[in-house]
Amino acid sequence: MSMRKQAILVIIAVVVIAAAGSYIAWSYLQAPSIEIHDARAVITPKALAIYMVIHNHGFGADCLVGAEIASPFRAEAELHETIVSGGTASMRRVSSICIAGRSKVDLAPGGHHIMVMGNFSREIGELTLILHFQKSGDIAIKVTIASEGEIHTH
């Protein structure tokens, strides 16, 4: 094989390796990395309110698009946000809660949160909640039931 052909093959190999490395790096930069902290819930007279901190340690954004309780009973949950208008607070259902890359979102009283409507026993100590993320898929977490004095509800 001539030197010219060898040089061309080396150049092609370098270009292919560089392209593959760029693709891998770009995929890494676009990927979210979700971690949940401080998950807790409060039983109110008409609902179960769930709060937590969602950290996205990755560079790509992700959105929470749904949630459901898996145990000790099964129930669909709704994503909500609190709106204050004219001094009155009300809840509005939202389709998603997005978390930008390298940031966090607090699901807390007076802001975004997860609601399960109904009357619940105050004897429930812990729930298994499945969070549905657009890119990260399903993440199951344990949620501790807090007393109403520990968290101010809306």
pLDDT tens-digit map of 117-148? 988 877 889 999 999 999 999 999 999 998 66
Architecture of the 34-146 domain: Sandwich (2.60)
Residues sharing a CB contact under 8 Å with residue 141, sequence separation 6 or more, in sequence order: 36, 39, 52, 128, 129, 131
Residue ranges, the chain, pLDDT below 50: 27, 151-154
Predicted pLDDT at 44:
87
Q: Which two tokens stand for residue 152?
A: 């101010």
pTM of the entire predicted model? 0.78
Predicted pLDDT at 136:
95
Residue with tokens 């992700």: 62
**Mean of per-residue pLDDT scores for the chain:** 87
Predicted pLDDT at 2:
81
Q: Is the Cβ–Cβ distance between 64 and 79 less than 8 Å?
A: yes
* Count of CB atoms situated within 10 Å of the CB of 81: 15
